[in-house]
Structure 1
Amino acid sequence: MSDKSFGRRQFGAGAALSAAALVASACATGSTTTGTTSNNSSTPKVRTTEGTVRGKLENNVAVFRGIPYAQAPVGTLRLQAPVRYAPWSGVREAFDFGPQPPQAVMPGSTANTANDSDEWLTVNVWSPDVKASGLPVMVWIYGGAFMMGSSAQPSYNGTNLATKGVVVVSLNYRVSMEGYGLITGAPANRGLLDQIAALGWVRDNIAAFGGDPGRVTIFGQSAGAGSIAMLLAAPAAHELFQRAIAQSVPTALQTPELAADVATVVAARAGKQPTMADLTGVDPQTLADAAAAVSKNIAQYQDRWGYGLVVAGTEFGPVIDPDSLPESPYKALARGVSKDVTLMVGHTKDEYNFMITMAGGTDKITTEQIDKALRLLPPVTDGPQAYRAAYPEADDKRLYQIVCSDFLFRMPSLRLAQAHTAGGGRSYLYEFRYDKTPTGAAHGNEIALVFGLIDTEGTRTYGNPPAADAVALGNQMQADWLAFATTGDPGWPAYHPDTQPARSFDTTSTTGPYPEHPAQQIWADDPLDPLPLRHN
């Protein structure tokens, strides 16, 4: 592989990348950014290691969109690790978001699909002052079940956070089959390798935008939070960030056997085998559509892939891989990997309400679904009895939501804090409990509050105009996220296994013992091993 390929020149061929954490090796230029120009004009310019970019001044924030951090992963680079972008001469306009990675187009999607460019691997930067120095940096990693997503989504606009004194970065990474299909002859976890490459770009360039490369906080939600868990575990990523915020860590990590079988099924929908020789000539959108078709009918693979993927609604996730992710983050963190990184991690109270709403609401929940979830998900002999005893006032549909929430997000998030603490790291735990919305405290409902966008993007959730207590809660969460990014302390006690302090974000936010104790007891002995192949 060329010495321009991220990860291998610096770390050796065995470090092809770590499921969300392989450091992008420095390019031959070696230096960090080489200078900036004025932020006074409406089109500020910044010189990066690859060339000069021109952005826009919006609400007194310098905004640069669609800056490529790696070459388009097509042609000879198709299904390969990301390769550093070639330098350019002159000034490159950074006014528009880059195109989204190939994925099934979702109804109501606002991602940038009008651009025919293959340059999916881009970053965006919001800076309060490109002439500043040493500002804290917050790098956002989007979710989307490892099948979809784009940094162009309006709900990820970094302007509001940037006005409060941080440099905000968001990034695109490959999803679906392009990013996570386990393909013979291709490196595993390519979407996560993209994230590593983008973090390498941040390390090399963020000083020119006013940021401090030694004070980087990565934050993300859902698949983005899962990616952060993998980044914490990946040896090659350890010096790319100093703090991490994981919002709703999913159950997603797969064994190689499961991932290989998933890739075989998806490739077969396109009439191919999951090999480089067979797939490099297939249009990326064709593979994305094939993956979406499998996801739509994922229940038919339950005996083969397990009920967990049915609950998750996606067949993709990071995979255990000797080069990029040799062990799960729970095992890695418990033995002290990334103990110098400060972690904030949490989940929402009613996580699975989002999925239930997407599937048609509680009226669509069947007795068969309830029975399967209570029998197959809990790691105890009698799951139905355990949950009914733990939640005696909950009806069966409520129990279905609780057990699915525990399996998919709540317990993985809690256990990440526990593992990190056990390994000598410092963790801060929280639960989002504000349920004055049509979906309660559902998966993703905190994002608009964190970004300060409830008066523009979240009006249907929080009211139009938004409720006063929602505005106050958003201000509090922004302050805590910013405090963590700035100082490493969000304002409540760090997690301790004896007292289990956790912040509860609600109409009145409080700090006390972790509130989901009944579920924690049921899941206490679950090792959270990678999802296995059940039957082939």
Structure 2
Amino acid sequence: MVRTPHGAVRGRYEHGIAVFRGIPYAAPPVGPRRFRPPEAPEPWAGVRDAAAFGPTAPKPPYSGAFALYLSDPAVPGDDCLNLNVWTPEPGPGARLPVLVWLHGGALTRGSSAVPVYDGRTFARDGVVCVSVNYRLGVEGYGLFPDAPANPGLRDQLAALRWVHQAIAAFGGDPDRITLCGQSAGAISAGVLLAAPQTQGLIRRAVLQSGPPEVSERDRVRRMVRRMAARLKIPATAEAFAAVDRDLLLRTQAEVGRLSSPVLGGPAFGIVVDGDLVPGDPLRALTEGGAARDVRLLMGWTRDEYRLWLVPGGLVERVDRLGPVALAGAMARCHAGADVARGYRALHPEAGTAEIVGQMVTDHLLRIPLHRLADARPGGCHLYEFAWPSRRPGLGACHALDLGFVFDSGAVPESTRLAGEGAPQELADAMHGAWVRFAATGDPGWRSWDASHPVRIFGDGDGDGDGVAYTAHGPRDAQLALWPAAATLPRPAPDPDIRAPGAELASAVRRLRRSVGARRR
């Protein structure tokens, strides 16, 4: 039994690890709290059972193609603002390092109940692990004239404050908190790093396949407006709150089905709100001095794009579209023809889908993460995950690294993406690096400097043992193709001004129509 700020909870010992699941850190976001910032939960009397995962945030299921690869359990209930704690030594006095996990899922899917995110292995190795649920989709990131922006991000801040206040009772050290996330979780972690309200709460941070970024307000607003048009209601929080939740989720899935990191389109995202997100977070971290004392571990997978393109059969379609697809990617990435020609020269055997995928990955992930590392020499460690899945066509795709970071390759949900027979020695190497970083700030390889050291996991090449080795500037030739202007963060447009770039939107629409026509 452990006492939290709002009441006592009773967990369970599993494999020698104390586990507490479903602890509320905020009140249920229902009724008048819907679409509003989180509020503290009501204190409870007695001892609350914390044996099972709490309710997950409302979300649509993955489409059939993606569900073959990704697990996303749903737990019904309103009390979805909850978290889980794995600890080897509950009780004050242990002062162990703490890792707080923010799941990915494009801010529309995912939860802390995904079996791949089992925190037991971190606790086994001396790190208190906390995983967090937060609001998703239109309820977490819809942009309305009558409600504050970014309630899902505000949920994460509330959870982080809860951890800072309560984790000592679970054996954790509130002064050694590592905020860690993947994909949308990494984007969230990066934005929180730059937020004035988190100063002093985060000691270290891990950004896996996601840079600090904000979405254009118009892009998010278009998502809300399209949902409103289908529902035949005003695009207000009051009107959306009156819609049946299942209908709302179905409408959200329908409107967002053609949006992807490669094709673009309207989507939910974190926006500048003048409060929690006062400006561009990448600029704040690279030029404004935000979180200068926070050490960073950042990286990507070698073939991020394959999870975006393979499940729906888009690799073959993009290859057939050829120049049309490449033109769409150039517009999407604000890149000229010389950039595309440079990728062709560096990868002469690659098909169009690989060229497009690598260009978009560089634009969205590698360029901003390199910029962040360049601005903080000595304070960052970079990695690339290169082991290819045993599932056909996936390569070293987005999210494949998670089963290795959590050392959870034995669970069936990990094999959906990795296939059978994932190497345990690779999990030992990656998981061990994350444990060392959470404990000491040093994952075990050279920090970023002018030689651009990058730890490569699972390549089998280089001067290492095939599990991990350090390469210097492995992406430099690719990233040098981009003009300096392409690496600068773009300010979010004024809420009352339509975002510029009509030629970009037109090119992306043409690509999406071409893909849709071929799909039909």
Q: Where do 1:145-294 residues align within 5 Å?
A: 145-249=106-210, 253-294=214-255
Hey, what does 1:88 align to over in structure 2? 44
The 3-state SS of whatever aligns with 1:430 is strand
Note closer, same or farther for the CA distance 1:113–1:510 as it changes in structure 2 (3 Å cut). closer
Residue segments in structure 1 that go unaligned for 5+ positions in a row: 1-44, 299-307
Once residues 186 and 414 of structure 1 are traced to their aligned partners in structure 2, the CA distance between those partners, rounded to angstroms, is 35
Match of 2:452 in 1: 500
1:434 partner letter: W
The answer for the alignment partner of 2:401 in structure 1 is 446
Written as runs of structure 1 = structure 2, the 5 A alignment for 1:93-112 is: 93-106=49-62, 107=64, 108=67, 111-112=72-73
Evaluate the alpha carbon distance shift between residue 463 and residue 180 of structure 1 in structure 2; reply closer, same or farther with a 3 A threshold.
closer
Cα pair distance change 1:246/1:312, threshold 3 Å: farther
Name stretches of at least 5 consecutive residues in structure 2 with no aligned partner.
461-465, 494-498, 506-520
Q: CA RMSD in A?
A: 2.2
Q: Give the one of 371, 388, 393 matched to 2:326.
A: 371
- The one of 55, 62, 65 aligned to 2:21: 65
1:88-120, CA deviations, whole angstroms, 9 ceiling, x for partnerless residues? 1001001111111111122547545353x2111
Find 2:383's aligned residue among 405, 415, 430.
430
Runs of 4 or more above 6 Å deviation:
none
How has the CA–CA distance of structure 1 residues 463 and 432 changed in structure 2, closer, same or farther, with 3 Å as cutoff?
Answer: same
Which residue of the partner structure matches residue 508 of structure 2?
none
Give the Cα–Cα distance (whole angstroms) in 1 for the partners of residues 262 and 456 of structure 2: 30
How far apart in 2 are the matches of 1:493 and 1:250?
21
What is the alpha-carbon distance in structure 2 between the residues aligned to residue 309 and residue 401 of structure 1?
Answer: 9
The separation in 1 between residues aligned to 2:244 and 2:212, in whole angstroms, is 30
Q: Aligned-pair distance for 1:459?
A: 3.1
Q: Which moved more, 1:105-114 or 1:447-456?
A: 105-114
Matched residue type, 1:163: R
Name the counterpart of 1:26.
none
Do the aligned partners of 2:2 and 2:170 also contact (CA within 8 Å) in 1?
yes
Aligned to 2:496: none
**Distance in 2 (alpha carbons) for counterparts of 1:292 and 1:420:** 39
Q: Distance in 1 between matches of 2:419 and 2:410?
A: 8
User: Amino acid of the residue matched to residue 456 of structure 1?
Assistant: V
The one-letter code matched in structure 1 to 2:348 is: P
The reply on whether 1:315 has 2:267 as its aligned counterpart is yes
Sequence identity percentage: 39
- Taking the aligned partners of 1:278 and 1:461, their CA distance within structure 2 comes to 39
**CA positional deviation for 1:289:** 2.1
String of CA shifts for 1:177-196, please: whole Å, max 9, x gaps.
00101111211111110000
1:317 is displaced (CA, Å) by 0.9
The 8 Å contact of residues 99 and 120 in structure 1, kept in 2 or not, is answered as: yes
Partners of 1:517 and 1:393 in 2: how far apart?
Answer: 19
> Is contact 1:351-1:409 (8 Å) kept?
no
Instruction: State the SS of the aligned residue for 2:234.
Output: coil
Corresponding position of 1:456: 411
Contact 1:373 1:403 (8 Å CA) reproduced: no
Q: Does 1:332 align with 2:284?
A: yes
Name the CA shift for 1:269/1:420 in 2 (closer, same or farther; >3 Å).
Answer: farther
Aligned to 1:380, the other structure's residue is in SS state: coil
Give 1:448's aligned amino acid.
G
**What one-letter code is carried by the residue in structure 1 that aligns with 2:171?**
G
Query: Kindly tell me: are residues 484 and 343 of structure 1, through their superposed partners in 2, closer, same or farther at Cα, counting changes over 3 Å?
Result: same
Preserved contact between residue 448 and residue 454 of structure 1 (Cα < 8 Å): yes
Deviation (angstroms), 1:462: 4.4
Question: Does 2:479 match 1:520?
Answer: yes
Moved more, 392-401 or 344-353: 392-401
Please tell me whether the aligned partners of residues 400 and 418 of structure 2 are also in contact (alpha carbons under 8 angstroms).
Answer: no
Alpha-carbon distance in structure 1 between the residues aligned to 2:481 and 2:100: 35
Do 2:188 and 2:212's aligned partners in 1 also have CA atoms closer than 8 Å? no
Match of 2:299 in 1: 346
- Give 1:400 deviation, angstroms: 2.2
Cα distance in 1 for partners of 2:366, 2:407 equals: 24
Return the letter of the residue paired with 1:199. L
**TM-score, with structure 2 as normaliser:** 0.86
Question: Secondary structure at the residue paired with 1:486?
Answer: helix
Question: Residue 398 and residue 280 in structure 1: after superposition, are their counterparts in 2 closer, same or farther (change >3 A)?
Answer: closer
Q: Distance in 1 between matches of 2:418 and 2:311?
A: 18
Give the Cα separation in 2 of the matches to 1:261 and 1:68. Answer: 33
Verify the 8 A CA contact 2:213 2:281 in the aligned structure 1. no
Q: Which stretch of structure 1 is more off in the superposition, 378-387 or 134-143?
A: 378-387
Q: Distance in 2 between matches of 1:426 and 1:270?
A: 49
2:454–2:473 Cα contact (<8 Å) kept: yes
Secondary structure of the residue that 1:136 maps to in structure 2? strand
Is 1:75–2:28 an aligned residue pair?
no
Q: 1:240 corresponds to which letter in structure 2?
A: L
Preserved CA contact (<8 Å) 2:191 2:213: no
Deviates further, 522-531 or 211-220: 522-531
User: Matched residue pairs, number?
Assistant: 475
Post-superposition offset of 1:162: 1.0
2:95 pairs with one of 113, 130, 134: 134
CA contact (8 A) 1:343 1:427 kept: yes
In 1: Cα distance, 2:491 partner to 2:427 partner: 35
Distance 1:473 1:204, change over 3 A: same
- Whether contact under 8 Å (1:379, 1:522) holds in the other structure is no
Distance 1:69 1:254, change over 3 A: same
- Compared CA separation, residues 111 and 367, structure 1 to 2 (3 A): closer
The 3-state SS of whatever aligns with 1:416 is: helix
Q: In structure 2, what is the Cα distance between the partners aligned to 1:194 and 1:391?
A: 43
Q: Secondary structure at the residue paired with 2:191?
A: helix
Tell me if structure 2 keeps the 8 A contact 1:249–1:412: no
- Report if aligned partners of 2:258, 2:265 keep a CA contact under 8 Å in 1: no
- Contact 1:480 1:490 survives alignment (8 Å): yes
Moved more, 199-208 or 269-278: 269-278
Q: Give, in angstroms, the shift of residue 279 of structure 1.
A: 2.1
- Alignment deviations for residues 365-395 of structure 1 (CA, whole Å, 9 cap, x no partner): 2415532344313443214323223333323
Aligned residue for 2:310, secondary structure, equals helix
- After superposition, the Cα gap between the structure-2 partners of 1:462 and 1:378, relative to the gap in structure 1 and judged at 3 Å, is closer
**C-alpha deviation, 1:403, in angstroms:** 1.6
Deviation at 1:420, TM superposition (A): 4.1
Distance 1:330 1:111 in 2: 30
Secondary structure at the aligned position of 1:66 is classed as strand
Task: Identify the residue that residue 335 of structure 2 maps to in structure 1.
Answer: 380
After superposition, residues 45-64 of structure 1 pair within 5 angstroms as: 45-64=1-20
* Selected match of 2:363 from 407, 411, 416: 407
